Chains A and B, each alone.
Chain A
Amino acid sequence: MSSDTLINITYTIISFSWVIYLVQEMFITGASALNMGICKNEEERKQIQVVSGLHFDGVEVWLLAALTITLGTFPLVFGTTFTYLYVVFFLLLYAIIGRGVSIEVIYKLESKRWIKSMVVTWTISSILLIFILGVYISNVFYGFPLKDGEMTSNYFSMFNVTGIAGGLLFLSLALVSGAGWIKINTIGDVGDKALIFIKKYGVIYTVPILLLLVFMGFNNTDASIFIGELFSKSYLYFIFPLLTIVFALLTLYMGVKGKGKEIFIFSLLTMGSFLITGFSGMYPYMIPSNIALENGITIYDAAVSDQALEVVLIVVAIFFPITFTYQTWKYIKFTDKVKLNDE
């Protein structure tokens, strides 16, 4: 295989890992974040703990997969991004720690104060986690202030209109898909309450609005996800943003109708097609520059040697299908609806 082909396949695999991670993470954090808004007692909360706790461990590893494959194949990208976003990545880490620990230990002690504090940690860390991821990903799509291999401003530049809109978009998609997930997987009132919650507080209406805001890319006038190599080459690529908008509207429609399963499916499709739009838009840049397009770091600038890429691709070719098989088996095996008192 030629060097370029190897590099392109690797880029696709990293994008793919992000998609697989985020479409799952969104409904798990969303269901978690909803718990304080909808549960009237600990029995209901336990249902949500089970439907999100059962899968979160395995899902989180997709994030590690996306990050370590970047480390091993585009180390320059990994190093540059993490150094620039030092504080942001530590905050993301704290959110991951808070969520990972609290979800497992809520009911390990009987004290009411303990349960309360773990529930609050669980909720806040879930919201923070998906919000930071949204800010990060939308900045990745639109680029960083990169010039001559150096960042020209500090990490605060991430929190621009587009970045914040991206964070909020992820959060609202998470809440919407989380409500659908709870509805599909539980018996009792809690699923309906989740669906009512996202409608009553207007969460479903924010999805298409925030999506448009991100696509408009405020304060990123010079760089846009729609002027990259692929979008310039063929209008066919515009099918992805169009689909994203259609799915977002269908999510909204199903939200108004209060249909759990459809909300779940369309919100996942919204997220998936949004990510595909972004990853196609930034190609071939791994770190696009929002100062000028040519300042960005491309996949060709950052890739390691062909032999190292081959090792990674062989590993992925063997283990991704295996992982898919047992993770899918797990979803199927444990789709039994979670009842009350079902610890």
Chain B
Amino acid sequence: MLEILSRMQFAFTIAFHFIFVPLTVGLIIIIVIFELRYYFKDDDRFRKLSNYYSDIFLINYAFGIVTGIAMTVQFGTNWAPYTVAMGEVFGSPLILEVIAAFFLESTFTGIWLFRRHRISKNLRLFTVSMITLGTLLSAMWIISANGFMQHPTGAYWDGSKIILEDFGKLFFNPYTWYMYIHNHLSAILLSGFVVLAISSWQMLKGKEEDKHLFEISAKYGAWAILIPAILLPITGNSYLDYLNTVQPDKIAMITGIDTGGLKTVVRLSFGSMVTLGTIFIAISAYTLIFFKKYLKSKTLHKIYIWLVPLPYLAIIAGWMVTEFGRQPWIIYNIMEVSEGISIVPVEQVWFSIISITILYAILFTMDYVLTITRIKKGIVEPSGGEDNE
């Protein structure tokens, strides 16, 4: 029971965390592009767009960061034997994530949240760039921890724990880089869908005077879908070739040679991801080629609002392939998931799983209401106060 509960809790909390993460890491890239246009062309429309999408970024960032802390806590509370055995190798990417990335993101997000309308153009661009750099780095470090679990390199198992041999090898683990690029592209794609959906809603129901702004962001949204949608199958293909050499079991599950239970789920998830990816290319290419038609078509606007769940499904499917495909290993070919579970009184795990489910339900409702309310408010210009330049 203990194992089932701890696994369920981890699966639930990581899935919940991942509602916010791809949106924020992708959206900040679109925001930094707006900010660059504002900086170099002095085009005020891009400042307005940057501010608008930043509000949506910041709401989701707040939820993303706190649900991320929940993951760190669980490494100790629910996965202590895993952490004790793995600490030496698992620790350094986590430490790097915190002190080389989180500090950067958080320090500058504070400025962006509370002082964005008071700072100079230079400082605006600098702040957004630092947040972007922080998100890029933090995703890289956490994925390099996952990369090690998928394909341990640069360390050896001494019978009871992992010993670091070569940090360079750990860092340049090819598995990490395939995952990182694939993952980040999918985050940009997802944010493209969100931007396109928001723009469509604004063109349907938003304020008349702001519609020309959302025509611009719709175009950026469509490009943010199309470019990753083309790159994803290319990177995905070489990722698969690589998997053939390091995780043949996963390939057997994907291709349907090995089936039954979770293995079938892996195959179905893979199929869904690829199908959705193909649809994404079609949708975004159509939107860009017939962009004028899209701008006038109320039907397309309505449809695009409802497309947002699709990239989430594709991303979840992709992660299911990655994580179910390595079962039963927590560290591939070294340690099984069941060996990593903390022995704690089962009532305590019941307490945490029930309380965190309730809390997350509240958080989800809050995030949903806040994001939707903010989207619908449209462009808002700051009023009052003095400049802090």
Could you tell me which A residues sit within 8 Å of B by CB distance?
Answer: 50, 53-58, 60-61, 64-65, 67-69, 71-76, 78-83, 86-87, 89-90, 92-94, 96-97, 100-101, 104-105, 108-109, 154, 304-305, 307-308, 311-312, 315-316, 319-320, 323, 326-327, 330, 334, 336, 339, 341-343
Contacts and interface: CB of A to CB of B under 8 A. Distances in A.
Contacts of B352: 86-87, 90
B76 A79 contact: yes
B76 A101 contact: no
Contact of A90 (B77, B81, B102): B77
A151 to B, nearest CB: 11
A86 B86 CA distance: 20
A50 B385 CA distance: 13
Contact of B100 (A50, A81, A89, A315): A315
A81 B328 CA distance: 27
B115 interface: yes
Contact of A75 (B86, B342, B370): B86
A97 B69 contact: yes
A319 B138 CA distance: 14
Interface in B60-74: 62-63, 65-67, 69-70, 72-73
A81 B359 CA distance: 24
27 contacts: A54-B110, A56-B110, A57-B110, A57-B113, A64-B69, A64-B72, A69-B95, A73-B91, A76-B84, A78-B76, A78-B83, A79-B80, A80-B80, A82-B73, A87-B351, A90-B77, A90-B352, A101-B66, A104-B58, A304-B91, A305-B163, A315-B95, A319-B99, A330-B110, A334-B115, A339-B385, A343-B382
B57 to A, nearest CB: 12
A341 B385 contact: yes
B369 interface: yes
Nearest to A57: B106
B268 interface: no
A82 B95 contact: no
Contacts, number: 214
B308 interface: no
Contacts of B103: 58, 61, 65, 319, 323, 327
A341 B117 CA distance: 13
Contacts of A101: 62-63, 66, 363, 366
B157 interface: no
B111 interface: yes
Contact of B88 (A55, A75, A79, A336): A75
Nearest to B353: A90
Q: Is the interface of B mostly helix, strand, loop or mixed?
A: helix
Given A83-B76, A308-B88, A61 B106 contact: yes
Contacts of A67: 72, 76
Interface of B: 58-59, 62-63, 65-67, 69-70, 72-73, 75-77, 80-81, 83-92, 94-100, 102-104, 106-107, 109-111, 113-115, 163-165, 167, 342-345, 348-349, 351-352, 355-356, 359, 363, 366, 369-370, 373-374, 382, 384-385, 388
Nearest to A316: B99
B373 A109 contact: yes
Nearest to B158: A305
Nearest to A100: B66
Given A75-B88, A100-B66, A104-B62, A54 B111 contact: yes
A56 B359 CA distance: 22
A182 to B, nearest CB: 15
A326 B107 contact: yes
B99 A97 contact: no
Contacts of B102: 61, 64
B115 A54 contact: yes
A160 to B, nearest CB: 20
Nearest to A74: B87
B100 A319 contact: yes
Contact of A71 (B94, B164, B356): B94
Shortest 6 CB-CB contacts between residues of A and residues of B: A72-B91, A75-B87, A82-B76, A79-B80, A58-B107, A57-B106
Contact of B73 (A90, A308, A336): A90
